[in-house]
Amino acid sequence: MVRTLTLKTVQKTGTLVFKLPGVPGAVYVEGKMLEPGSTPPQTLDIDVPGMREPGADASEAARLKTEKAAERDAAKAVKAEASIAKSQARLEKLQASAQKAADKAAAVAAKFASATAPVEAAPAEE
């Protein structure tokens, strides 16, 4: 596949920096490789066997990323369901404990009320 690199900069040392849009990295060409006094080319055509289009594997990477995210979300959902079940069990236990405490408090209050009720004195016999 033939690709066209464009001239990005000429460094102080005379090195030419060519860049392929959309691809990280650059190709460096020593200025000494050019004939003295010639102007550097604005584009450079290269043929690299096996070179792919930029972003050719992006769809595969996006699919893998989506699959991993789905797996993480499923694991989080399982954990959340387990946490909800534990919380429900804890809530039921606390409600039962609160009901027992309320029943006990009512029994103590009834006992106290009956113990402090005024006793009617029997009429004195004459």
Give residue limits of the domains in the chain: 2-47, 57-107
Residue 33 pLDDT more than 70?
Answer: yes
Using the structure block, give the residue that is written with the tokens 């070179």: 51
pLDDT at 35: 84
Positive or negative, the Cα torsion across 103, 109, 111, 114? negative
Residue 29: name the closest of 42, 48, 51, 14 by CA: 14
> Residue 26 and residue 29: Cα distance in Å, rounded?
10
Lowest-confidence segment of 40-49, 54-63, 87-96 by average pLDDT: 54-63
Lowest-confidence segment of 40-44, 58-62, 65-69 by average pLDDT: 58-62
- Residues with Cβ within 8 Å of 54's Cβ and at least 6 positions away in sequence, in order, are 20, 21, 22, 23
Highest mean pLDDT among 35-44, 59-68, 82-91, 101-110: 82-91
Residue 86 pLDDT more than 90?
Answer: yes
Residue 21 pLDDT more than 60?
Answer: yes
- Residues with Cβ within 8 Å of 46's Cβ and at least 6 positions away in sequence, in order, are 2, 3, 5, 27
Residue 20: name the closest of 45, 40, 49, 56 by CA: 45
- For 31, the token pair is 């200025």
Mean pLDDT of 21-34: 83
Average pLDDT, the chain: 84
- For 33, the token pair is 């490789």
Mean pLDDT of 87-104: 95
- For 7, the token pair is 């001239």
pTM of the complete model: 0.40
pLDDT at 67: 92
- High-pLDDT (> 70) share of the chain, %: 86
> Residue 16 and residue 26: Cα distance in Å, rounded?
10
> Residue 16 and residue 31: Cα distance in Å, rounded?
6
